[in-house]
């Protein structure tokens, strides 16, 4: 039987005659940080102080112990090396590697001694490749397109430039005899109601003449098949298999598959994975609105409620299974049902996809290409295909994986960013996205759809980012336009859009110790990586709010409110146009360090107000006021599988609390549909002092704005800066684990910044608008000494400009 022994201890990191203890899996930066050689690059201006690390060579060393006899072959297996390295044993070359996204295996039968992995500088390798293949344009100046390494390690408009190296995934020794399972490709389908697992197997042999047998077990059923040469197929049918569904549509039953390779009666190797039975498709049919882009799971057409995922740490070896699960649990709790793994990052670890399987989170997987023209010459071309083949097969068992995507923004970049002229006919990646990658997916994983890029209209017959065709990235808003412009288009699928805000106050205090915080203080500017990021924040803010000069706390609160408002404007508009628009993927869920960015969860894992707003926006049921050609309507979005019935209450009010008009309507919305109620003209608010409130209550209403089964929508017809809000008056009471606020006036966008109570404290909700007489109870975790004065100091809300 194959035996595996981890090689995760006893490593040293060597550089210029110095040696430091090394952690494997890990990387150079984390080892130097642990040794006290470098400052924390996440704190202050530390990123600049460690820039030299990425331009040096580094060597990892340890003893490779003698292997006990009893097996015919011994292999040294690296699951991930970042990125360009030579592996030697006693000074003799075992091999060279040049791809972070692949695993590597070396025959070390009968060998022992000093094992060394020498990493060359990624910069040096990238420049050497550029010299060979020629220059290629990119959205950023760093040379990330010349090697198969996580692109965002070279910096992004939300990320630091921390180009590391290291043994970033596990390493082990495997001993085996006769044969081992080299590749298992599971094709999981549902055929006429029967779950089918077809395992296509390749083996590596030491003895050609040995007769081999495959045995597969799934859900108490088994099947056997004889191997032919080095390949074989075994198929198991599960007639009573339950379907795997995305969250909100059904359960997530998972079935363990066990495949054993036998020689006679002796087991040689075992492969185990969990699978789920489901069908998945992508409807890109043309229609009266253009070309659709709708995910279909088990025959059910979905509006995808998505978020974009970047590596959760710029040093991904630090992201544990527990951290993956926590972050993805946060996503699921916010109503998210789709995670897009963005193309400037990595193929994530099994822990990530396992958690998505269990949580019912659909995964859209980009191949790692982003925002650059990628050469198609060697040595890159062969690496791309090998990497794709390995990772497609590795991730195939996961039912959560529903879409392969060729790249991020490169087809768009070729058309709109001046690349075509600069390239002068040189290759730039089209052959990957429209050739190599769809061919690999069709050959190895025909159970899943493939799309060439995001954005992509489906063919060169339309502009790559045409909102009427395929996927669309909405970045004119934020870069140049106000978020109200989201309402001007109804894209078929919005794969990227978003708005910036700073991280939580406690995150800033940790990352910028001792700094007097200001929007333009040195640390704040360093932790703002977007081009003219603060300028765009300021322009976006002043369109809606009057910002007191020099008041950082108020600026911090209002920028976070504005982020939530911007994303809400887009999602409410697009969800109200289902099924023409079939999904939104917010840029972005998470951060890889403390930074002002588009994230809903900051680099220290704290939830911004946007996160809690997503819980409302991505709930199964949503109320939103929208303008149509016929006038103002209330759109009732019901994405649940059950009809929605209740009493709709409309009230036209003044900011002082006076009710000018009211109406009640019985609401009845079918499952998975959007219904619209025309707002009577006499209830439409007029002027800066009026607003409209809609409530739907499925049970008798109490004075608590958050009680019962109610949903609320509010519409103010003018920007906040023009609204004469009354001075907010409210009472605050505290109890262990909660803060209760009772409003005596209109209190708009009330926010408890729990991290101001204690760095580890967390509130269970974000922005809340209260009418006079209403109250809200906010749950608070991690606050050991409740105090009403402290709670009041941590509460922020809208006020009239003074």
User: Domain coordinates of the chain in residue numbers?
Assistant: 3-174, 177-275, 320-333+474-619, 337-465, 621-722, 730-796
pLDDT of 723: 96
How far apart, in Å, are the Cα atoms of 512 and each of 248, 366, 521, 523, 754? 41, 34, 10, 6, 19
Residue 1: pLDDT over 80: yes
What confidence score (pLDDT) does residue 702 get?
Answer: 36
When the pLDDT of each residue in the chain is averaged and rounded to a whole number, the result is: 96
pLDDT digits (tens, 9 = 90+) for 161-213: 999 999 999 999 999 999 999 999 999 999 999 999 999 999 999 988 889 99
Mean pLDDT for 23-37 is 98
43: DSSP letter: S
pLDDT in tens, 603-630: 999 999 999 999 999 999 999 999 999 9
What is the pLDDT confidence band of residue 801, given thresholds at 50, 70 and 90? low
Is the pLDDT at 394 greater than 90? The verdict is yes
Task: Decide yes or no: CATH 2.60.40.10 for domain 621-722.
Answer: yes
Quote the pLDDT of residue 802.
40
Question: Which one from 409, 430, 489, 496 is the annotated catalytic residue?
Answer: 409
* pLDDT above 80 (res 98): yes
Cβ-proximal residues to 441 (8 Å cutoff; 6+ apart), any chain: 388, 392, 404, 448, 450
Cα distance between residue 172 and residue 152, in whole Å: 28
d(CA 669, CA 582): 19
Q: State the Cα–Cα distance between residues 277 and 191, nearest whole angstrom.
A: 10
Pairing between β-strand 401-405 and β-strand 450-451 as defined by DSSP bridges: parallel
Q: What is the pLDDT of residue 709?
A: 52
d(CA 476, CA 232): 52
For the domain with range 730-796, which CATH number is right: 2.60.40.10, 2.60.120.260, 2.170.120.12, 3.40.190.10? Answer: 2.60.40.10
Q: Which of 619, 628, 530 has the alpha carbon at shortest distance from 575?
A: 619
Q: How far apart are CA 712 and CA 727, in angstroms?
A: 23
Helix, strand, or coil (residue 422): helix
- What is the distance between the alpha carbons of residues 639 and 673, in angstroms, rounded to a whole number? 6
Prior bond to 404 cis, omega within 30?
no
The enclosing H or E element of 751 equals: strand 747-752
User: Beta-strand (E) ranges in 206-337?
Assistant: 212-218, 221-226, 231-238, 255-263, 266-275, 280-283, 286-287, 290-291, 294-297, 300-301, 304-309
Mean pLDDT for 571-593 is: 98
Q: Which value, to the nearest 10 degrees, does the dihedral of the CA atoms of residues 750, 751, 752, 753 take?
A: -160
- CATH fold of 320-333+474-619 reads TIM Barrel (3.20.20)
Predicted confidence (pLDDT) per residue in 235-244, tens digit: 999 998 999 9
Report the alpha-carbon distance of residue 403 to residue 761 in Å, rounded. 37
Q: Does domain 3-174 have CATH number 2.60.120.260?
A: yes
Q: How many other CB atoms sit within 10 Å of the CB of residue 210? A: 14
pLDDT of residue 252: 98
Using one digit for the tens of pLDDT, what is the confidence trace for 629-654?
Answer: 999 999 999 999 999 999 999 999 99
Could you give the CA distance from residue 381 to residue 73 in angstroms, rounded to a whole number?
Answer: 31
pLDDT surpasses 90 at 288: yes
Residue 299 backbone zone (phi > 0: left; psi -120 to 50: alpha; other: beta): left
The pTM of this model reads 0.96
CB 786 within 8 A of CB 735: yes
Give the model's pLDDT for residue 238.
97
153 three-class SS: helix
Say whether 409 is catalytic: yes
Task: Enumerate residues 6+ apart whose C-beta is below 8 A from 212.
Answer: 178, 179, 203, 205, 226, 227, 232, 261, 262, 263, 268
Q: Right CATH number for 177-275 from 3.50.50.60, 1.10.10.10, 2.40.50.420, 2.60.40.10?
A: 2.60.40.10
Residues near 132 by beta carbon (within 8 Å), at least 6 away in sequence: 377
Given the candidates 3.30.360.10, 3.20.20.80, 3.40.50.300, 3.20.20.70, the CATH classification of the domain at 337-465 is 3.20.20.80
pLDDT at 397 over 60: yes
Q: For the segment 409-428, what is each residue's pLDDT rounded down to a tens digit? A: 999 999 999 999 999 999 99
Cα separation of 583 and 495, whole Å?
Answer: 8
Question: For 256-285, what is each residue's pLDDT tens digit?
Answer: 999 999 999 999 999 999 999 999 999 999
Alpha carbons 665 and 636: distance in angstroms, whole number: 12
What value does the mean pLDDT take over residues 3-28?
A: 97
Which region, left, alpha or beta, applies to residue 432 given φ > 0 means left and ψ of -120 to 50 means alpha?
alpha
Kindly state the average pLDDT of the residues 39-53: 98
Q: Please give the average per-residue pLDDT across 375-381, as a whole number.
A: 95
Per residue in 207-217, pLDDT tens? 888 899 999 99
Q: Please, are residues 314 and 159 in contact by the beta-carbon 8 Å criterion?
A: yes
Domains 337-465 and 621-722 fall in the same CATH topology: no
CA-to-CA separations, 430 to 369, 426, 435, 527, 572, in angstroms, rounded: 11, 11, 7, 34, 35
Strands 401-405 and 362-366, bridge-based pairing: parallel
Q: Which stretches within 360-447 are classed as H helix?
A: 380-395, 410-416, 419-423, 430-431, 437-444
In the chain, % of residues over pLDDT 70: 98
Tell which residue, 746, 752, 749, 754, has the closest CA to residue 768. Answer: 749
Long-range contacts of 254-257 (CB under 8 A, 24+ apart): 254/357, 254/358, 254/399, 255/195, 255/218, 255/219, 256/218, 257/186, 257/197, 257/199, 257/216, 257/217, 257/218, 257/397
What separation, in Å, do the N-terminal and C-terminal C-alpha atoms of the chain show? 77
Separation of alpha carbons 483 and 632, rounded Å: 19
Strand order in the sheet with 775-781: 730-735, 738-743, 775-781, 762-763
Q: What is the pLDDT of residues 428-455, one digit of tens each?
A: 999 999 999 999 999 999 999 999 999 9
Q: How far apart, in whole angstroms, are the C-alpha atoms of residue 667 and residue 643? A: 10
What are residue 128's phi and psi, to 5 degrees?
A: -65, -40
Rounded to an integer, the average pLDDT of 707-722 is 85
Alpha helices in 179-237 (DSSP H): none
Cα angle for residues 27, 28, 29 (degrees, 5° grid): 95
Q: Which of 389, 391, 364, 384 is nearest to 443 (CA)?
A: 389
Residue range 333-361, pLDDT digits in tens: 999 999 999 999 999 999 999 999 999 99
Q: What is the per-residue pLDDT for 705?
A: 41
Q: Provide the pLDDT for residue 3.
A: 96
The answer for residues whose C-beta is within 8 angstroms of residue 92's C-beta and 6 or more apart is: none
């Amino acid at each position: 039987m194959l035996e595996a022994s981890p090689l995760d201890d006893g490593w040293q990191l060597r550089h210029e005659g110095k040696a430091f203890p090394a952690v494997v899996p890990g990387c150079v930066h984390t080892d130097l940080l642990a040794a006290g050689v470098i400052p924390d690059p996440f704190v202050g201006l530390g990123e600049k102080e460690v820039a030299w690390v990425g331009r040096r060579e580094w060597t990892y060393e340890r003893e490779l112990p003698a292997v006990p006899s009893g097996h015919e072959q011994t292999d040294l297996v690296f699951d991930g090396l970042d990125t360009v390295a030579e592996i030697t044993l006693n000074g003799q070359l075992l091999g060279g590697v040049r791809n972070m996204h692949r695993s590597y295996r070396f025959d070390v039968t009968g060998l022992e001694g000093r094992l060394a992995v020498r990493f060359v500088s990624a910069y040096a390798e990238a420049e050497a490749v550029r010299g060979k293949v020629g220059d290629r344009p990119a959205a950023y100046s760093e040379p990330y397109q010349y090697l198969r390494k996580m692109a965002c390690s070279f910096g992004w408009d939300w990320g630091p430039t921390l180009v590391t190296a290291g043994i970033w995934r596990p390493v082990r020794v495997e001993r085996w005899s006769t044969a081992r399972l080299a590749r298992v490709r599971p094709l999981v389908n549902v055929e006429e109601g029967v779950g089918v697992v077809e395992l296509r197997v390749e083996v590596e042999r030491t003895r050609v003449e040995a007769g081999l047998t495959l045995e597969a077990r799934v859900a108490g059923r088994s099947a056997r098949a004889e191997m032919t040469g080095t390949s074989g197929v075994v198929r198991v049918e599960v007639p009573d298999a339950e379907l795997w569904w995305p969250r909100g549509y059904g359960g997530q039953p998972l079935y363990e598959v066990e495949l054993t390779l036998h020689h006679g009666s002796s087991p040689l190797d075992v492969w185990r994975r969990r699978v789920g039975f489901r069908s998945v498709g992508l409807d890109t049919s043309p229609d009266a609105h253009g070309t659709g882009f709708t995910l279909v799971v088990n025959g059910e057409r979905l509006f995808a409620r998505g978020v974009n995922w970047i590596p959760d740490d710029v040093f991904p070896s630090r992201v544990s299974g527990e951290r993956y699960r926590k972050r993805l649990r946060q996503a699921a709790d916010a109503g998210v049902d789709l995670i897009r793994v963005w193309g400037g990052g990595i193929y994530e670890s099994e822990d990530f996809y396992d958690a998505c399987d269990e949580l019912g989170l659909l995964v859209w997987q980009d191949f790692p290409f982003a925002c650059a023209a990628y050469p198609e010459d060697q040595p890159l071309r062969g690496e791309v295909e090998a990497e794709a083949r390995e990772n497609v097969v590795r991730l195939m068992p996961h039912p959560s994986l529903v879409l392969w995507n060729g790249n991020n923004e490169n087809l768009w970049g070729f058309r709109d960013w001046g690349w075509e002229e600069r390239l002068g006919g040189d290759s730039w990646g089209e052959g990957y996205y429209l050739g190599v990658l769809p061919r690999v997916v069709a050959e190895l994983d025909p159970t899943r759809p493939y799309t060439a890029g995001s954005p992509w209209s489906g063919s060169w017959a339309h502009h790559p980012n045409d909102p009427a065709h395929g996927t669309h990235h909405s970045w004119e808003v934020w870069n140049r336009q106000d978020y109200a412009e989201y309402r001007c288009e109804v894209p078929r699928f919005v794969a990227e859009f978003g708005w910036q805000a700073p991280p939580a106050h406690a995150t800033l205090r940790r990352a910028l110790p001792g700094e007097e915080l200001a929007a333009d203080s040195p640390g704040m500017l360093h932790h703002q990586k977007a081009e003219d990021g603060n300028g765009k924040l300021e322009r976006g803010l002043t369109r809606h709010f009057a910002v007191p000069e020099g008041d950082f706390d108020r600026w911090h609160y209002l920028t976070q409110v504005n982020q939530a408002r911007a994303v809400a404007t887009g999602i409410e508009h697009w969800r109200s146009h289902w099924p023409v628009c079939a999904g939104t993927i917010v840029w972005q869920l998470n951060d890889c360090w403390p930074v002002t960015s588009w994230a809903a969860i900051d680099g220290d894992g704290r939830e911004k107000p946007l996160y809690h707003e997503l819980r409302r926006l991505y709930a199964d049921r949503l109320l939103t006021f929208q303008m149509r050609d016929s006038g103002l309507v209330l759109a009732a979005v019901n994405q649940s599988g059950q009809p929605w019935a209740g009493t709709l209450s409309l009230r036209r009010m003044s900011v002082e609390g006076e009710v000018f008009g009211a109406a009640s309507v019985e609401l009845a919305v079918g499952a998975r549909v959007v219904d619209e109620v025309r707002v009577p003209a006499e209830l439409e608010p007029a002027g800066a002092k009026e607003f409209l409130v809609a409530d739907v209550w499925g049970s008798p209403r109490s004075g608590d704005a958050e009680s019962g089964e109610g949903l609320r929508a509010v519409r103010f017809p003018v920007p906040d800066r023009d609204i004469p809000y009354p001075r907010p008056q409210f009472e605050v009471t505290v109890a262990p684990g909660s803060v209760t606020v009772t409003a005596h006036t209109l209190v708009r966008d009330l926010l408890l910044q729990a991290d101001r109570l204690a760095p580890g404290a967390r509130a269970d909700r974000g922005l809340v608008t209260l009418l006079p007489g209403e109250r809200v109870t906010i749950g608070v975790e991690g606050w050991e000494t409740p105090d009403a004065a402290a709670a009041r100091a941590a509460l922020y809300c809208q006020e009239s400009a003074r």
